[in-house]
Structure 1
């Protein structure tokens, strides 16, 4: 016996190792993949796991059920869940047990297993866990379980109010099965007020409710339900109306979010009551266009519920806000769900189940359309050839199916049947049903040659889904099979091979192509909608766009255009393009004052964040070439009340910010034009002297390879000049500032003889600086005039490539080396000096005698030379900048490689007959005994 136990343990261990090595989808960590695989909230982490056998018993289990072999598999423990799945087939037995439902845990004596645990739950289920493997591992699992249960004790209080909202608990309580006292009927969907779609008798709603009641008694419910083969069968035959909402949220996992955040939905609505946004405006436009065929959405009650859910989600996830088709999906959820249930289901839909479907770019939907085309090409090549040959746009037909989850394409009663399976197995359902639609209608579709007739055939098919699929069959059982039942058989039997793994493979294949196309389209669209920027070229705007989204780390999959830049991202952005902005690691609080002024001034919406439009508009002002306009723009930064006045504090702040902005020049590691001009003149003088001293002069000007220039001298002169400019600004600003109340100022001066001779410096005498005075003070200083006319603008390199940062360190030695390397420029300047000197000497010899008047004329001649040089400085003083390559590659459309084609004989055989309906139906149609329910085995 021990031999067989050992063999069994090895087999289970081998199977579980295979399960553990299952490839994690790209882009997800193992923890994220685990949460998605078992529909757990993000953040759950496996803290213990072990091979195990499980027995699940309830007070209502039959003896035959108790005698079943215990399923073998692997059990996982996270912070809030106990998860088990069968090693061979998860549909055989699996469960996700919330630890809050655990009422009792005891250790059982066992000779065959290392550790045996009995776990009793709130739903009166007893889970007997037989841990398989090394005793040390089993003991560790048991100890970790004890720790998890203790840590979760504070969360147990959430369980009681939560089960009051579950209809499954209410159903059992009313039938004296549950010990939980349910005080009132749990809230439900609009169907309770406006009736559920379809005829309940034809849908056998009561019979389905009875089957689920029996399952709840034996296998648990809501937070402690065990999924057995019967669970999957009942999902496939259609859910009862009153339980549909609860089972949807259980299958997709939004139930766990609703448990953890029980008050968040109400809090969001209360916090944002009466607030308006672009999303709320868009919601209002679509409210009356949401499932108009359903009576609830022609009434205030239905419209108000829909408005609240959509609005709450837009505030919770402002990055997405509100997007196309979201109203249709939420309207459908609200028929079967309460507002809170629909809110959390919508969160999970957008974030996990179909990410990118409901976003500004619909990235997920467009990607899946390309995946769908690939699947059609692979599974129905003859039909695909026909589609491509006639240039039929398949995505035009199928996009509404995926985007609205079939809710806007087929009658609601059938769309909800598809949603039953969709919430259970995810987006693969959408592909399976879409492929089945094409295959069933394949023969008719092969006769079409344009989009219109193609769409018409599918549209007509959706209108007759309730009709018999085989009306002429002699067998009455086959005549009772509807086209919709045939569709389900085809989707979940013939296309069962289309699973998540296959879909992810195709997604990975086409993701880059779709991303590039969407990114290019979004970029062009957003750049086109930006405000006009006369000072920034279109090519530079493209670079700014790329840098903006790289800094805010936005992704096109969540919808470009709505991302906002906070202050930290703004500082990073500016440090990459401005010489005077230090990186965050090298700066202190005093270095951000001026940036805060810019940030606040550019934040037109007052939301403490900048949109791309705000940033571009601000930068356009910052690189203004017109001197007077530039001074005005700087003045406006401190005119907080928009009265054309800057008070005493504002003047002091301007002086401090000017010191900050001019740091690169004030510290001497960046040169302005005044210093450059002085250096050029010094270099030219040295070269002139060297060439004038040559004995033979053949007209060629020699440029020495090295030159002794007093570097500290020029550094010191520039630093001194900027410090002097700052001091002069403060002095002149207060000297020419105007008193706030002139009469009061004069009166005070007459009474108080102790006031300083400069009354503007007295804090008791308020003064202000207006724009004309500010301009006068700036223009009175050569350094600051140059700063606003040129220096500041040139220090901002908006077209710096994304992968480079601006080089703000250019010292004087670099300047000297550049001048010597540019020998032509120096030679031209020296030649003009030599020509002027020779001309002047010749003129003096011919016309002037050596006397006092000669000296005066000579001095006059030198003055003319200097004036002539000043007039010519513009000819050689402009620094030449090489133009950068502006041919930015925005991503060309990649050519999609066609899969290898199959031979013509195979294609002909494939579509010779799309299906044998009677044979397929004969193999798949079953009935539940006593309930007359049709069930499709897949």
Structure 2
């Protein structure tokens, strides 16, 4: 017993753990879902009460036996809880929460007064527009009850405008028509507008006698319990729905059970406004709607006529404009066509809205995640409730979801004849999504013996299809009992579904959905990603891994877009683009410089140019394909392509020239892009080479000439590097490069329009009679005009692409920036990691010291140079072929010819800090691929002289 006692003690704890992994809804969300109320409703207050109600047309009102000795009317009293929301009074009984459920729109209340008949208790007498009286007796503290009444009073004042619209609204309800015609005997009233069935007949061959009997039962129910916005729902209501709703009443009962009646009342005229505001507009959803209109329930005659097609088009189009995230999805036309048979356009519109949001969430979405999720839930129910059948299905590799998917997606409209599908819909709107699971399980249960004979999917489908086509036939044709022979297959299906599988509850479905939701969503995201990756444009510089990472970061950045749900815009705005680029690029990441308004403006200006350049559709948003193509251009290894693309960013008019403002903006862009190197946060290859050369020089200095000549060099125990010195040198180099860039651009800029009347370089020797001093002054004057032409506001100048490339190649820093540094600053493989793998200058220093291969190369050159000066040709050959051996294992000696990976492994700890992405070998390989030789300082100066000479 102690074992079971411990289990009982641990049970609450285990339940709390389970709940922590299950998404929970708030109290208001659960309340709205239970009573199908609009999204803006919330509980203002609640209290315990006893409720009694009497209707003006009910039998109790005329029954003398239901009066006390004083002549007061007697009625049933229900105890429960009363809830107040901004637009509703909701009461539910405390017995089973279904014996008396009242959802009363406050607009239907005509008068509220204190009850004079109950002097001993605090009570209110509420009179409705129909004459129904509700006696509310509060249970509890009087002060608490008075607070509830004050809040009710405030809500009644706020609902006065809605109350004025009430008479017109109830005229559209068939229940009101029944009361006015058969009790009030009004002769000037007409039946409200209903569905297509009014003119094209209702599906099947309804028995007139049975239809009248059902209509009479509902008429009696309305007299006793109220109608439309002020109806009381009890067990009789549920029984009448199960028996079958008369065709003329079906539209109102559907919108009453689904809660769409409350939406229609609270949004007057919105449906028609949607149609009017978007008339003649086109969209992808509308194009898809037009393709499916004539494929919507083609067996029903109304959808072969323009009237039926137009009604269906209106409802689907209006919904696509109201809910652009969904727009239009497969099978929505089937469901909407089924609603329009019994409902007007406006009724069907709001019913479709609630159906998509409450009853079948995710069924009609871009990814259809709701249907896929419920297929997995259905398979788990089959496995649990029918293990023998499930084992057979698994053994024969029968895809159950292929067969059951149309049942759920079309709500059985396309699976069974319409007259039986609408009966399923009656119960579906009353009981919720569990109806689909119960009916689907019953179909398998009833056909279990035949299914166990099926060998493949084709036989399975044929068995089920034949069953649906014979639902009108007897379920027991060979039974000797006449009553058994009269039971149809459809009746047997209903009994099996709602009795044998009544164990399937909403809570079970929610639990199973939460259990499989994560897996289904991951599968959907994987599928969508693979599909989009295959459709991405061809790139030349991005690997598959980089493309995958760009895709992930792109959609992670757009927080409003949910891939698995198919909701939200999948395009990127400029604000999101700023954050997106900050995850990839060193120069776009957040930094201390962002506090500087000038720097912040420069960053946004440059990124805006990138954004506009990448925006192929010119709508102010980027698709993932736009971003992929843009990044592919930025990481090109080709130097000329990199320069050409950067020039094109500032050539807005695409005339191949940049004037003064364009050059200044380009200079600011270069200052922004080079900020991480200008501030010393990172180092480029030129700085790295300088550091390595200094290390090599220090090693050579600390070794004697004899050691250098013999080839035996002792590695110093430590090398100190002046970090600030190299930061300052690199910063100065980048500032000088920026200054030279502007100077050369203006120096080599060409006038846009040349005045042919002025000879700018008239150096002829005419007029020899002029003195030499005058000639020299004239030459200097024209030289000054030429040199300052770019600064003359009356003579605008511009540079073209060739001049821009010439200026960049004339500067070693900017040439290296476009060939290597810019590409290395974009880390497409690590965009999701904000920190990145780029190390600061200090870490890079450690890596240089650790990676002895390059340092040893430089030491070798210096040793060879010393050896060459000491002994000429003979000693050169000897020193080249001899090895430098280690003389003492404890001392740090290196063999320059044998400084390989074996030696580096001894310094593994130091090598881990090296910058592999800044390796010289990688740089040399990249340069060989581009066939561009490194430009030494001397070569740079020679090229500068050559450029100036040619100019």
TM-score by length of 2: 0.79
Task: Give the corresponding residue for 2:866.
Answer: 837
Task: Give the corresponding residue for 1:137.
Answer: 144
How many Å separate the matches in 1 of 2:228 and 2:654? 60
For structure 2, list consecutive stretches of 5 or more residues without a partner in the other structure: 1-18, 67-72, 761-781, 877-915, 925-951
| Alignment counterpart, residue 458 of structure 1, candidates 460, 464, 475 | 464
- Give the conservation status (yes or no) of the 8 Å contact 1:25–1:33: no
| Alignment counterpart, residue 126 of structure 2, candidates 94, 119, 122 | 119
CA 1:776–1:309: 2 relative to 1, 3 Å: farther
| Alignment counterpart, residue 581 of structure 2, candidates 574, 578, 599 | 574
| Alignment counterpart, residue 795 of structure 1, candidates 825, 833, 837 | 825
| Alignment counterpart, residue 783 of structure 1, candidates 813, 821, 841 | 813
What does 1:511-910 correspond to in 2, within 5 Å?
A: 511-553=517-559, 554-559=561-566, 563-583=570-590, 590=601, 591-646=603-658, 649-692=661-704, 699=711, 701-704=713-716, 706-737=718-749, 758=788, 760=790, 769-800=799-830, 802=832, 804-807=833-836, 810-843=839-872, 877-878=920-921
- TM superposition shift of 1:333: 2.0
Of 589-598 and 837-846, the range deviating more from structure 2? 837-846
| Alignment counterpart, residue 37 of structure 1, candidates 14, 34, 38 | 34
CA 1:650–1:72: 2 relative to 1, 3 Å: farther
- Give the conservation status (yes or no) of the 8 Å contact 1:356–1:557: no
| Alignment counterpart, residue 216 of structure 1, candidates 222, 226, 235 | 222
- TM superposition shift of 1:414: 1.0
- Give the conservation status (yes or no) of the 8 Å contact 2:583–2:831: no
How many Å separate the matches in 2 of 1:760 and 1:745? 19
3-state SS of 1:580 partner: helix
- TM superposition shift of 1:184: 7.4
- TM superposition shift of 1:93: 0.9
For structure 1, list consecutive stretches of 5 or more residues without a partner in the other structure: 1-21, 848-872, 882-938
Of 54-63 and 339-348, the range deviating more from structure 2? 339-348
Of 165-174 and 135-144, the range deviating more from structure 2? 165-174
How many Å separate the matches in 2 of 1:343 and 1:757? 75
Deviations 1:768-814 (A, max 9, x none): 55444443443343333322222222111111163x22348744322
What does 1:182-581 correspond to in 2, within 5 Å?
A: 186-202=192-208, 204-473=210-479, 475-553=481-559, 554-559=561-566, 563-581=570-588
Deviations 1:513-571 (A, max 9, x none): 33333332222222122222222211222222222232223434323897233333322
TM-score by length of 1: 0.80
3-state SS of 1:637 partner: helix
Q: Cα RMSD over matched residues?
A: 3.8
CA 1:815–1:111: 2 relative to 1, 3 Å: same
Of 51-60 and 190-199, the range deviating more from structure 2? 190-199
- TM superposition shift of 1:693: 7.7
Of 513-522 and 704-713, the range deviating more from structure 2? 704-713
- Give the conservation status (yes or no) of the 8 Å contact 2:748–2:803: yes
How many Å separate the matches in 2 of 1:735 and 1:273? 60
Q: Does 1:49 align with 2:54?
A: no
CA 1:837–1:511: 2 relative to 1, 3 Å: same
- Give the conservation status (yes or no) of the 8 Å contact 1:432–1:498: yes
Task: Give the corresponding residue for 2:110.
Answer: 103
- TM superposition shift of 1:428: 0.4
- Give the conservation status (yes or no) of the 8 Å contact 2:99–2:234: yes
- TM superposition shift of 1:400: 0.6
- Give the conservation status (yes or no) of the 8 Å contact 2:789–2:797: no
- Give the conservation status (yes or no) of the 8 Å contact 1:191–1:335: yes
CA 1:470–1:76: 2 relative to 1, 3 Å: same
Of 451-460 and 704-713, the range deviating more from structure 2? 704-713
Q: Does 1:69 align with 2:76?
A: yes
- TM superposition shift of 1:404: 0.7
3-state SS of 1:119 partner: strand
- TM superposition shift of 1:433: 0.5
Of 403-412 and 30-39, the range deviating more from structure 2? 30-39
3-state SS of 1:558 partner: coil
How many Å separate the matches in 2 of 1:584 and 1:151? 52
How many Å separate the matches in 2 of 1:106 and 1:288? 56
How many Å separate the matches in 2 of 1:502 and 1:447? 31
- TM superposition shift of 1:429: 0.5
| Alignment counterpart, residue 25 of structure 2, candidates 24, 28, 39 | 28
- Give the conservation status (yes or no) of the 8 Å contact 1:356–1:364: yes
- Give the conservation status (yes or no) of the 8 Å contact 1:671–1:810: no
- TM superposition shift of 1:757: 7.2
Q: Tell me how many residue pairs correspond in the alignment.
A: 831
How many Å separate the matches in 1 of 2:656 and 2:708? 66
- TM superposition shift of 1:760: 4.6
How many Å separate the matches in 1 of 2:289 and 2:628? 29
3-state SS of 2:37 partner: coil
3-state SS of 1:130 partner: strand
3-state SS of 1:89 partner: coil
CA 1:131–1:480: 2 relative to 1, 3 Å: same
- TM superposition shift of 1:409: 0.6
CA 1:629–1:23: 2 relative to 1, 3 Å: closer
Greater RCO between the two (CA within 8 Å, min separation 6)? 1
3-state SS of 1:54 partner: strand
CA 1:206–1:581: 2 relative to 1, 3 Å: farther
How many Å separate the matches in 2 of 1:423 and 1:76? 23
Deviations 1:800-850 (A, max 9, x none): 163x22348744322222212323432332233222332244339999xxx
- TM superposition shift of 1:343: 2.8
How many Å separate the matches in 2 of 1:488 and 1:621? 64
CA 1:832–1:522: 2 relative to 1, 3 Å: same
CA 1:690–1:519: 2 relative to 1, 3 Å: same
3-state SS of 1:32 partner: helix
Q: Which has the larger radius of gyration?
A: 2
How many Å separate the matches in 2 of 1:763 and 1:308? 63
How many Å separate the matches in 2 of 1:769 and 1:243? 79
How many Å separate the matches in 2 of 1:844 and 1:471? 116
CA 1:85–1:523: 2 relative to 1, 3 Å: same
CA 1:810–1:202: 2 relative to 1, 3 Å: same
3-state SS of 1:336 partner: coil
How many Å separate the matches in 2 of 1:174 and 1:648? 85
- Give the conservation status (yes or no) of the 8 Å contact 2:693–2:855: no
- TM superposition shift of 1:399: 0.9
How many Å separate the matches in 1 of 2:576 and 2:144? 47
Deviations 1:386-422 (A, max 9, x none): 2222222211111110111101111111111111111
